[in-house]
Amino acid sequence: MNSLEKPQVLVFTETIEEDYTFFDIKWIPTSARFVVIGCHTKGTGSIRVYSFVGRELKLSSKNDGDDTFSYKCGTFKSSDLSNRNLTTGDFKGNIHIWDLENLSTPKDSFKSAHSDLINSIDGSQRSGEILTASRDGSVKVWDVRVREKPVAVMIPRETEYKRDCWTASFGQDGSLIAAGYDNGDIKIFDLKAMSVLSEPHLNNGVCSVEFDRSETEPANKLIATCLQGKIHAFDLRTLHPKKGYAQTFEKFTGSNHTTLWGVRHLPQNRDIFGVISGSGSLGLYQYQYPDKRSDLDNNNVPQGVPGTIVELQETTISDQPVNALDWSKDKLGLAVCTAFDKKIRIVIATKLNII
């Protein structure tokens, strides 16, 4: 692919919030609005809703309560489209569910869901379940219909040291979980069988994991981004009893040793994904499948065959780390992102329809 055929990444507009630190950003489903999650300089939590007005961003509503803890992450995936409730995790381990039309108080909460901050949150729209990953080392699944305790808990064995779980993601319509840890471990859980399918270990801490389609069954592939600029892809169609899932990796070209804060798949094309980095770059990558996705090993046992990760474009959009990204499901190539320079950016990626 020559330079004229490659997608281009353009910053459409941006706005700055001097007294605000961003931790997560999400499009509100089926709308031209998005929500930003973070905290004030004094450490209290804040949720802000923005909308488009021409080329500018307008603050529509906000929750800036002085008695709240900083919010770390959020998702709309555990809510149906008729309600579009936002679910957040905070620095004290609490889960809150918000009605965006009334941000003054949560409509539902799980207090002290974890004993430490919630690093990552995801949801299953089919079941309405909530998935959380925490610094306390646990991964938990919550159901709003069961108030007393989580419906599933994944914690280290008593003999194991509790690692900081940085990220977790639902797959296979809520029946699979992938979790990434600060020591490079990835654990893939089967919730139906309540067992661990695979435990690959990477050389660097895992910052983000995401299935290419959370609702696809069977699961197709998993992407993980790490410290030191590595992107790993796992083909989930074939599980070898000893080797596990087939995998491949690629180095982030923007800066070989930068932290890759997150990965987000394009909703319209599950083989294209964006990677955000500590060098302030947004990279676009495509996963290309091999001619055969599985073959037989020397003992005639099926094993997966990894594909390749191909860079489509890498563009610097900030002079500070980009820490959150979300693609629009309604407009191909439209994304929102936040960075440590306290700016919210609307980004457009072109030519994605011809790849």
pLDDT exceeds cutoff 80 at 4? no
pLDDT exceeds cutoff 80 at 3? no
pLDDT value at position 54? Answer: 81
Of all residues in the chain, what percent carry a pLDDT higher than 70?
A: 98
pLDDT exceeds cutoff 90 at 159? no
The arrangement of strands across the sheet holding 108-110 comes to 71-75, 86-90, 95-98, 108-110
Measured CA to CA in angstroms, residue 333 lies from 26, 133, 208, 209, 267 at distances of 15, 29, 21, 21, 9
Domain layout of the chain by residue ranges? 163-316
Distance (Å, rounded) from C-alpha 24 to C-alpha 226?
A: 18
pLDDT exceeds cutoff 80 at 254? no
Mean pLDDT of 150-177: 90
Distance (Å, rounded) from C-alpha 345 to C-alpha 17?
A: 11
pLDDT exceeds cutoff 90 at 238? yes
Of all residues in the chain, what percent carry a pLDDT higher than 90?
A: 81
| pLDDT band, very low/low/confident/very high, at 66 (cuts 50, 70, 90) | low
Three-state SS for 137? coil
pLDDT exceeds cutoff 80 at 282? yes
pLDDT exceeds cutoff 80 at 350? yes
| pLDDT band, very low/low/confident/very high, at 315 (cuts 50, 70, 90) | very high
pLDDT exceeds cutoff 90 at 355? no
Of 161 and 13, which is predicted with more confidence? 13
Distance (Å, rounded) from C-alpha 263 to C-alpha 26?
A: 14
Q: What is the mean pLDDT of the chain?
A: 93
> Which residues pair with residue 38 across a beta bridge?
22, 46
- Beta-carbon contacts of 232 under 8 Å, excluding residues fewer than 6 positions away, are 202, 223, 224, 225, 226, 247, 248, 249
pLDDT exceeds cutoff 80 at 112? yes
| Amino acid found at 135 | R
DSSP assignment of 152-201:
EEE---TTS----EEEEEEETTTTEEEEEETTSBEEEEETTTTEEEE--B
pLDDT value at position 1? Answer: 67
Of 156 and 337, which is predicted with more confidence? 337
Which CATH fold topology does 163-316 show? Methylamine Dehydrogenase; Chain H (2.130.10)
Mean pLDDT of 146-160: 85
pLDDT value at position 206? Answer: 98
On whether the CB atoms of residues 344 and 17 are closer than 8 A, the answer is yes
Q: Kindly tell me the burial class for residue 152, based on how many C-beta atoms sit within 10 Å of its own C-beta (0-12, 13-18, 19 or more).
A: middle
Q: What is the largest CA-CA distance in the chain?
A: 63
pLDDT value at position 196? Answer: 94
On whether the CB atoms of residues 73 and 120 are closer than 8 A, the answer is yes
| pLDDT band, very low/low/confident/very high, at 43 (cuts 50, 70, 90) | confident
Distance (Å, rounded) from C-alpha 338 to C-alpha 255?
A: 19
On whether the CB atoms of residues 306 and 253 are closer than 8 A, the answer is no
On whether the CB atoms of residues 355 and 15 are closer than 8 A, the answer is no
| pLDDT band, very low/low/confident/very high, at 143 (cuts 50, 70, 90) | very high
Mean pLDDT of 85-90: 97
What b/e string do you get for 269-307 counting C-beta neighbours within 10 Å, with b at 16 or more? eebbbbbbbbbbbbbbbbbeeeeebeeeeeeeeebbbbb
Distance (Å, rounded) from C-alpha 79 to C-alpha 85?
A: 6
Give pLDDT tens digits for 174-186.
Answer: 899 999 999 999 9
pLDDT exceeds cutoff 80 at 133? yes
Mean pLDDT of 283-303: 96
Question: What does the DSSP 8-state code read for residue 6?
Answer: S
pLDDT value at position 217? Answer: 84
pLDDT exceeds cutoff 90 at 202? yes
